Amino acid sequence: MISTMRYYPRWSEMLTQCINNNLKYLKRDFKSLANVGFRPKANVWIKNMNCFVSKDFIMERVKANLWKCKFRLLCAFHALLVLALPANPLYAEPQLVDLTHPFDETTIYWPTNKTFHLESVFSGRTDKGYWYESNDLTASEHGGTHLDAPAHFAEGRWHIDDIPLESLIAPGVVIDIRARAKDNPDTRILPEDILNWEKTHGRIAKGSIVLVLTGWEAFWPNKKLYLGTDKPGDVANLHFPGFSKEAAELLSHERKVAAVGLDTPSLDYGQSKDFPAHQVFGAANIPGFENVCQLATLPPKGFRVIALPMLIGNGSGAPLRIVAEIGP
């Protein structure tokens, strides 16, 4: 059983303090009752008040202290009850899963693109004694975990800075095709994969973000295994899974999804020559997330995707930080 304290430590500290305060006040009030007592004398000397008081005053004080004792006992009981209850999923903190590969010298880019380069401008203590670091970086839009804007393959469609947040932050689903992809690097995501997923989990809702798990993350950052080639400029020997044109049309026109993504270098499979999935998604203003990771840690549904790219004005693509939020 998971305690509420795990999720709200500051709240539980407040409740604990409440209990301690109530116990302190109870002790004080019972001491006061003991001082007053139920003695029948009309006038009683009250030491802490340094005076005689009437029997009626004593009884009124007894009643008031008893009421306060009951109230504080009730408060303490409720505080203890809340702390003892198991965590309510409605109040639990969500689990965050980072679906992003780090950007460094091992980051994989399309064979014809410039790779990531970080150059130190300064790192050390200044002449005034404080620490300072600064770097210059260069890279292509399309490499590592990144977003393909619809304009990448569709004239007149959204660039990076045109994409609304509703297309980047939305409920997510994961379709798993690892069983087929492990035996065929040129396999494609088919309409049947989507329909079979829906038989188990229900129809994909409009505005969802569909992520496809192929298992290709296992080859990162080995270019030879991940791309099919490690030669710069070699696009003839690319081998990895991607969306078929038919699956792209189903998701774009019938399910009207917000965005799509997968754990391979491209929305289209490696041997594609005209990139039909890119064209279909782009024409429908559907962004694509490429080279995502940790999809195997996500459930098939029941999570939210938060995918925020570097906001490059008029960009056709951009580095992406993508996170899944599971629960509560």
Higher pLDDT, 294 or 6: 294
Q: What is the mean pLDDT of the chain?
A: 86
Distance CA 247, CA 302 (A): 22
Q: How does strand 188-189 pair with strand 242-243?
A: parallel
* pLDDT cut 70: percent of the chain above it: 73
pLDDT at position 6, please?
42
Q: Which residues on adjacent β-strands are paired with residue 111?
A: none
Q: Which two tokens stand for residue 162?
A: 């045109």
Distance CA 141, CA 110 (A): 10
pLDDT at position 196, please?
98
Q: How does strand 131-138 pair with strand 117-125?
A: antiparallel
Distance CA 143, CA 129 (A): 38
Asked if the model's pLDDT at residue 86 lies above 80, the reply is no
* pLDDT cut 90: percent of the chain above it: 71
Assess contact for 260 and 281: CB atoms under 8 A.
yes
pLDDT at position 36, please?
54
pLDDT at position 7, please?
43
Q: Which residues contact 290 (CB under 8 A, 6 or more apart)?
A: 142, 145, 146, 147, 148, 261, 262, 264, 265, 266, 267
pLDDT at position 278, please?
98
Give the confidence band of 71 by pLDDT, cuts at 50, 70, 90: confident
Asked if the model's pLDDT at residue 302 lies above 80, the reply is yes
pLDDT digits (tens, 9 = 90+) for 90-146: 557 899 999 999 999 999 999 999 999 999 999 999 999 999 999 999 999 999 999
pLDDT digits (tens, 9 = 90+) for 230-266: 999 999 999 999 999 999 999 999 999 999 999 999 9
The pTM of this model reads 0.74
Could you write out the three-class secondary structure of 25-40?
HHHHHHHHHHHHCCCC
pLDDT at position 130, please?
98
